[in-house]
Structure 1
């Protein structure tokens, strides 16, 4: 049932979307319909639909001059910005498909994506991109310079279901990320199907909050552009501070906000402390399981009508979103995970046993997704394609074997019940433990490693690494841990870096030779291997260390140890700052740690603020 009213007047929807259209055709229709409306803005500038259309058409013509042909993969290594949206639109108009590379990725991961995708051209402005004789890196400003060119004219319209729109890389179990090929038709059908559930209009303002390497960004960008809406790019520093984010949402008049539950925790706390006059119509959750406890405080303050709270399950290989669930107050009465609802129109969910046969209702089984969102497959992975993209007996087409366990309840709604394999999901990002383990075991200090997820409380899931040191447990010290952590930081994105390293003499195994997870010690049961005295510390230093140790779980951290080197995350840091702000009644945000994320730096900042206040 479409959400026809979430408070306020209801505007007529833009012209209906064409199922299975090319994405840049959808944009072109909106540019003709709403030429003067704002299409995209960042902290420094904004473009109308007409201006974005002109800039992306100029880029497309230049890319054609540079040799881009239909179906060619073109890289983008740009921060979230107006330039990023110009670039992806220009690539699509030129007939290419965009391959997003987050500028925050370590060099080794960037090198792998460049090599694996076979891209020969990348749009970017970073000096530290990999140097390759076969890769040309061109700044966007250079591509847009010069006289205006004639728009690209397609000789023959491509089939949207067989034309790649983008390739997003996800974690791989073999130690290397794998690229997922998603067609224009996949995305346009997602947009057409979700419009039946929502009531998006050209008056909506959407945040672009997520990394371009995370497919939530596809929803944020194209959800806005497909309906004549406004893509409001969240400045990086704002995205790291819930208090600043809350004020920014109010100032921008944002109506559609997409969040992982992990990120929403900080925003909810900021709203509880200060509040702001928000224009939100929808908050869309995805990326990880949604605990009822995350939403209950928000609903107690704001109710469940405006904004409407939506839980959507999805996976990159099935094009961002697969299900829809309108969350109401009665859904939050227990402490269970919120259901993921029912499949979108055009998607089909099959819960099958090991023989690919349907299971009785109420039985947890592996999910196979059929329908409009099933992607084209993995890039250059024929064996994996044969394993994961399958033809079901009596099925209507290809199905994607997700590895996720779901249960269909008596109410007709699906609930997430875990994984069939070892894949983890941390803060919305899929992580194959094997990729992290392969990186760890490339260190001469590590003989063996096992990576697991651990809940540090209230759904705060983090990576924990059990290592067998090459020289034995007694040889594992802070220097060794720091060296191994530095290797991981140079190779993997921050969301794949362990929060704790636990040395063991050997990894416990079952009688069948598999890791015995029941015998792995929990992080909080490990006695501190480094003891820090509180002698000589100020009251502020002691309290910061107490918060980081007891509340965040960084048991062994010292006064001058880096928060992130010890496995702290950005969200954990934000949570600790919130605790410290409430305790000392001072203003703190992540920017105060720009010169070092240590307890010493933070305690000194608190002390200065207290002195200034008096």
Structure 2
């Protein structure tokens, strides 16, 4: 009988009940305490939902111990874990709930009212109240082979709404078995949980350390103050293992290159993934980080259960000036094939589409057999199924895989998969939009951003209502940084939108002026930090941060530089609330004045 991952974690409560399992908000849960909370949650779920196979339970929580309790509790109740990100707009929730038809919604006290307002067709359970609640109904028996669904994880849809990827328990067990080398964890180690819950990476970040009996440290808001605060938190918590989005690792490399920080000596292994690592960042990392700190590049997709290939950076090999870190080689039970358009293997060194097979491949997309048939195809060698990743790679003679590009328009925005067509579909719902096309563009900050081009049905000025409309339907990272209005959308002879011409189009130049210095030169200093972080030459004191291409990562960068320069404590939230140099300057002045008056 296949041992499911939550059963492996529960076994530590028997053998090492007092061992530290999770650190969250300054408090530790032992494996024994964690198991008791998971058991109470599972009992409550089993007593209030109908018994049937593969019952979806949607979970939305903040980052903390309750998110882990919810995940493991759903599995112990033999239900399907359906994570969604905190702050998901109600329209998007309703669209997902309508397709999934959840048996219950499991959430925390901060999100319960939001969910009750979005859906009323199943119980909404507050996880903090499941502790001590009576519940005696038993969960249905599990499938001994592990073919029952474990998770339903949503990704950006290639032709409209988001898609629910069906992952079974066998795939999760395979993930734990596969990624043992990068996660060389022991009971004395501490691994950081960095990402937000609701995505596939958050599952991996939880189950790998806990299955090994290590301690899981939940990231606090310290990262919002910038990289220096984040690294101090790692040192304070004695974190040994990190799994970071490549985009945040890029921020750490920037600060290392400035000489303003050092990686804490407690860190022994860093795993990155989500998008390509640049040669410049890798060069900086090698220069400023000791050789005994392992750097792993991990590649995979939700449809292949998160991680399929890994690569340990070899400092004896020179940095590839064109490719950075390779994708690496397949994990032990993973099969890879680099195929041409006719699904034939291409010779070593030639580019082709990466197709992945093995027990980690998902069952398909929930309620979408058409999309499943297109993406999950028979292995031409007769070894089961392959998932067509859409990523173009080349395999060198040694077997290493190197990323080349995409076969479609899909992009990675701060580590999240985004299909522009899903954003275009949301834009098309707005009554003012006649045509829409969304493309990716490298922002001045060096990060990838989204640009939406729209042809409107009226000549009314302003697009604020369109942006607000998108924010009510899409996750924050899917809302374009820039929205440009075109009088006529460029089209090809066949009548389709000419995407290539829009991709090559230069951004509209904003009317920029030079900021005037305020008292003590604060305005000038803030403006210099602002422009450097955003990669622009100059800007007006009242130019909007988001309109200039700002996002959460560049916001953290600005917060860190302001804190370092002025000796204050501001974080990402203040940058997003203030949004302009003028407002941030006023905030910095008030904080410095308060410090002086308080001394």
Answer yes or no: same fold by TM over 0.5: yes
The answer to whether the 8 A contact 1:68-1:95 is kept is no
Report what 2:143 is aligned to. Answer: 158
1:259 lines up with 2:241 in the alignment: no
Q: Which moved more, 1:182-191 or 1:394-403?
A: 394-403
Q: Is residue 406–residue 418 contact of structure 1 (8 Å, CA) maintained in 2?
A: yes
The answer to whether the 8 Å contact 1:224/1:230 transfers is: yes
**Are 1:315 and 1:321, in contact at CA under 8 Å, matched by a contact in 2?**
yes
Cα drift, residue 562 of structure 1? 4.4
Q: Find the counterpart in structure 2 of residue 176 from structure 1.
A: 161
Q: Deviations for 1:264-298, whole angstroms, at most 9, x for unmatched residues? A: 12233445413363311211011111112123222
User: Given the alignment, which residue of 104, 112, 118 partners 2:87?
Assistant: 104
| Secondary structure of the structure 2 residue equivalent to 1:278 | coil
**1:483-522 paired onto structure 2 within 5 Å:** 483-520=465-502
- From 554, 560, 574, the equivalent of 1:572 is 554
1:230 aligned partner: 215
TM-score by length of 1: 0.88
1:552-563 pair list within 5 angstroms: 552=534, 558-560=540-542, 562-563=544-545
What is the CA-CA distance between 1:596 and the residue it aligns to? 2.7
CA distance in 1, matches of 2:94, 2:26: 30
1:601 aligns with 2:587: no
- Pair 492,160 (structure 1): closer, same or farther in 2 beyond 3 Å: farther
CA distance in 2, matches of 1:503, 1:537: 35
The match for 2:33 is: 51
Task: Give deviations 1:424-470, integer Å, cap 9, x for gaps.
Answer: 11111010101111112222332212111111257511111222233
Structure 1 residue corresponding to 2:457, chosen from 455, 459, 470: 470
- How far apart in 2 are the matches of 1:90 and 1:586? 42
Of 251-260 and 442-451, more deviation after overlay is shown by 442-451
Which residue of 330, 340, 350 corresponds with 1:343?
Answer: 330
SS of equivalent to 2:523: helix
Q: Do the aligned partners of 1:249 and 1:278 also contact (CA within 8 Å) in 2?
A: no
For residue 245 of structure 1, what is the aligned residue in structure 2?
A: 230
Q: CA deviation at 1:78?
A: 0.8
CA contact 2:166–2:363 (8 Å) conserved in 1:
yes
Q: 1:389 and 2:372 equivalent?
A: no
Q: Is 1:406 the counterpart of 2:393 in the alignment?
A: yes
Cα gap change, 1:215 to 1:240, in 2 (>3 Å): farther
Q: How does 1:433-444 map to 2 (within 5 A)?
A: 433-444=420-431
Task: Identify if the C-alpha distance between structure 1 residues 400 and 172 changes in structure 2 by more than 3 Å, giving closer, same or farther.
Answer: same
2-structure distance, mates of 1:184, 1:34: 24
The residue number in structure 2 matching 1:81 is 64
Greater Cα offset, 399-408 or 539-548: 539-548
Instruction: Structure 1 unaligned segments of length 5 or more: list them.
Output: 1-17
Give how far 1:606 is off. 3.4
Deviation, 1:164, is 1.1
CA contact (8 A) 1:291 1:459 kept: no
Q: State the distance in 2 between where 1:552 and 1:259 align.
A: 22
Greater alpha carbon shift after TM alignment, 590-599 vs 311-320? 590-599
Q: Retained in 2: the 8 A contact 1:92–1:98?
A: yes
CA shift in 2, pair 1:512/1:226, >3 Å: same
Residue-by-residue CA offset, 1:40-82 (whole Å, 9 max, x unaligned): 1210532111111111112211211112534211111110111
Q: More displaced, 503-512 or 588-597?
A: 588-597
Is 1:589–2:571 an aligned residue pair? yes
Alignment of 1:546-557 (within 5 A): 548=530, 551-552=533-534
Relative distance call for 1:89 and 1:356 in structure 2 (3 A) is: same
Structure 1's 218 and 370: CA in aligned 2 closer, same or farther, altered over 3 A? same
Q: TM (normalized to structure 2)? A: 0.91
Matching residue of 1:13: none
Q: Distance in 1 between matches of 2:251 and 2:41?
A: 39
- Alignment of 1:145 with 2:132, yes or no, is yes
Q: How does 1:320-339 map to 2 (within 5 A)?
A: 320-331=306-317, 333-336=319-322, 337-339=324-326
**Cα deviation digits, residues 23-51 of structure 1 (max 9, x gap):** 22211223223221111121053211111
Which of 10, 14, 34 pairs up with 1:32? 14
Return the offset for 1:221: 0.1
2:438 to 451, 456, 465: 451
CA deviations on 1:476-507 (whole Å, 9 max, x unpaired) are x4xx2222111111111111111112222223
Structure 2 Cα separation of the partners of residues 303 and 230 of structure 1: 24
Counterpart of 1:329 in 2: which secondary structure?
coil
Equivalent residues of 1:439, 1:488 under 8 A apart: yes
- Which of 213, 217, 224 is the matching residue for 2:198? 213
Match of 1:352 among 332, 339, 362: 339
In the TM superposition, what is the alpha-carbon distance from 1:315 to its structure 2 partner?
A: 0.3
Contact preservation (8 Å) 1:497, 1:567: no
Deviations 1:273-332 (A, max 9, x none): 1336331121101111111212322221223322x0000111000000000100123455
1:92 counterpart = 2:75: yes
Contact 1:74 1:96 in 2 (8 A): yes
Please tell me the root mean square deviation across aligned C-alpha atoms, in Å: 2.7
Q: Quote the residue 2:42 is aligned against.
A: 60
| Alpha-carbon contact 2:516-2:524 (below 8 Å) kept | no
- Indicate whether 1:115 and 2:110 are aligned: no
Number of corresponding residues: 587
Deviations 1:563-588 (A, max 9, x none): 23654201011223345456667654
Distance change in 2, residues 1:610/1:24 (3 Å): closer
SS in structure 2 of the partner of residue 76 of structure 1: strand
Tell me which moved more, 589-598 or 547-556.
547-556
- Checking the alignment, whether the CA contact within 8 Å between 1:246 and 1:270 is kept in structure 2 is no
- The more displaced of 563-572 and 509-518 is 509-518
Aligned residues of 2:43 and 2:138 also touching (Cα < 8 A): no
Q: Deviation digits for residues 138-197 of structure 1, max 9, x if unmatched?
A: 1112222335x66x7666441343111111100012321111111111011111122245
Equivalent residue of 2:94, what SS? helix
Q: What corresponds to 1:193 in structure 2?
A: 178
CA distance in 1, matches of 2:119, 2:234: 41
> CA 1:184–1:557 in structure 2 vs 1: closer, same or farther (change >3 Å)?
farther
Alpha-carbon spacing, 1:136–1:533, altered in 2? closer, same or farther (3 Å):
same
Question: Does the aligned pair in 2 maintain the 1:121–1:136 contact within 8 Å?
Answer: yes
**Alpha carbons of structure 1 residues 439 and 548: separation in structure 2 relative to 1, 3 Å:** farther
Q: CA deviation at 1:537?
A: 6.5
User: What SS does the aligned partner of 2:557 have?
Assistant: helix
